[in-house]
Amino acid sequence: MDKSKKYSFKKILIYLVCVVLLIASVMPFWILFVNGTRSTEQIQQGFSLIPSRFLNYNYKVLVGRGFNIFNGFKNSFIIALSTTILSLYFSALTAYGLVIYDFKLKNVVFALVAFILMVPGQISMIGFYQLVLRAGLTDSYIPLIFPAIAAPATVFFIRQYLIGSFPKELVQAARIDGASELGIFHKIALPILKPALATMGIFTFVTSWNNFLMPLMLISEEKKFTLPMLVQMLRTDIYRTEYGGIYLGITMTIVPLLIVYLILSRYIIAGVALGSIKE
């Protein structure tokens, strides 16, 4: 009796903490959305959690000052999508090569993959920039997209998946039927890998979509700015006194991602948990 009472008290406390954290997660975004619909005067007069009716006005202010969000969407989307496709395809290819074939340098390649996992990306950014500069590829998306071909974490994840759920006998059987090696990869391995590719695809896409430092370094032509770079522009003097517009601008950069997250949250959270266990 005493014990169960203690438990129910503890449970109330736990739910209380969880609800507070839930509010802490949601509230900043709610304030953001609401302020995006309020006029600058209203925002300065006081705090409110109820949307107002200046959404249209704020939008016109943003557009009037050259905030081209749809161009930013387009640019970020092109980069994130290409990055994701390249990364998934070549990571699957690499993982398949490591699992199916017993070539001499296999362990060397695998050790290499494990090693790159440990080396943080920021370390090489100066050398990378100089390389891009000398190749005349600044203001091009190529250096933002093609490095995705070597994505060690994705290779690692897909390799684990292949080991766990790909019967090697399928390869032998297909060879007897006269299939080519690449044909076997395309027609048999890729379809089986779909769930693993979907999980890694979400993370690759989001990481690329959110990337700020690399495009900031490499892109200077405003037409080619990605979404996070547009966010930075909201911080400049052009928008200084337009609080409603700034809030709306931030809102617009967040909403697509938020919608995708709410639809895919179950897979994303499962993916986070999986990624760590597989290390």
Partner 1 sequence: MKKKNKLVNYDKYGYLFVAPFIIAFLVFQLYPIIYTFELSFTDLSGWETKLNFIGFKNYINILNNEFFTKAFINTWIIWIINFIPQISLALLLASWFTNNRLKIKAQGLFKVAFYMPNIITAASVALLFYSLFSYPLGPINQLLINFGILQEPYDFFRSKLATRLIVAFIQFWMWYGNTFIILSAGILGINPNLYEAAMVDGATDRQMFWKITLPLLRPIMIYVLVTSLIGGMQMFDIPYLITNGKGNPDYAVDTMTMFIYKQAFLGSRNYYIAATASVLLLIIILIFSVIIFKSLGEKKEKRVGVR
197/229 with CB nearer partner 1: 229
Using CB atoms within 10 Å of the CB of residue 14, give its burial: 0 to 12 exposed, 13 to 18 middle, 19+ buried.
Answer: exposed
121/167 with CB nearer partner 1: 121
> What does the alpha-carbon distance between residue 97 and residue 8 come to, in Å, rounded to a whole number?
54
Member of 210, 238, 241, 267 binding partner 1 (CB under 8 A): 210
Cβ atoms of 200 and 88 closer than 8 Å: yes
Contact string (CB under 8 A) for partner 1, positions 23-62, x = contact: -xxx-xx-xx--x-------xx-xx---------------
Member of 1, 2, 66, 105 binding partner 1 (CB under 8 A): 105
57/160 with CB nearer partner 1: 160
Q: Considering the rule CB under 8 A, would residue 141 count as an interface residue with partner 1?
A: no
Stretch that binds partner 1, among 60-68, 141-149, 161-169, 192-200 (CB under 8 A): 141-149
> What does the alpha-carbon distance between residue 132 and residue 147 come to, in Å, rounded to a whole number?
12
Which distant-in-sequence residues (6+ apart) come within 8 Å of 232 by Cβ? 212, 216
Helix, strand, coil in percent for the chain, rounding step 5? 80, 0, 20
Q: Least distance in Å: CB of 31 to partner 1?
A: 6
Q: How many CB atoms lie within 10 A of CB 272?
A: 11
Q: Considering the rule CB under 8 A, would residue 120 count as an interface residue with partner 1?
A: yes
Count each helix (H run) and each strand (E run) in the chain, helices first. Answer: 14, 0
> What does the alpha-carbon distance between residue 167 and residue 192 come to, in Å, rounded to a whole number?
10
25/177 with CB nearer partner 1: 25
Q: Considering the rule CB under 8 A, would residue 192 count as an interface residue with partner 1?
A: no
Q: Considering the rule CB under 8 A, would residue 128 count as an interface residue with partner 1?
A: yes
Q: Considering the rule CB under 8 A, would residue 137 count as an interface residue with partner 1?
A: no
**Residues 214-253 within binding reach of partner 1 (CB under 8 A):** 216-217, 227-229, 231-232, 234-235, 243, 246-247, 250, 253
**Residues 68-87 within binding reach of partner 1 (CB under 8 A):** none
Q: Considering the rule CB under 8 A, would residue 257 count as an interface residue with partner 1?
A: yes
Taking the CA atoms of residue 34, residue 40, residue 45 and residue 49 in that order, the dihedral angle to the nearest 10 degrees is: 0
Cβ atoms of 159 and 95 closer than 8 Å: yes
Q: Considering the rule CB under 8 A, would residue 179 count as an interface residue with partner 1?
A: no
**Residues 85-104 within binding reach of partner 1 (CB under 8 A):** 90-91, 93-94, 96-98, 100-103
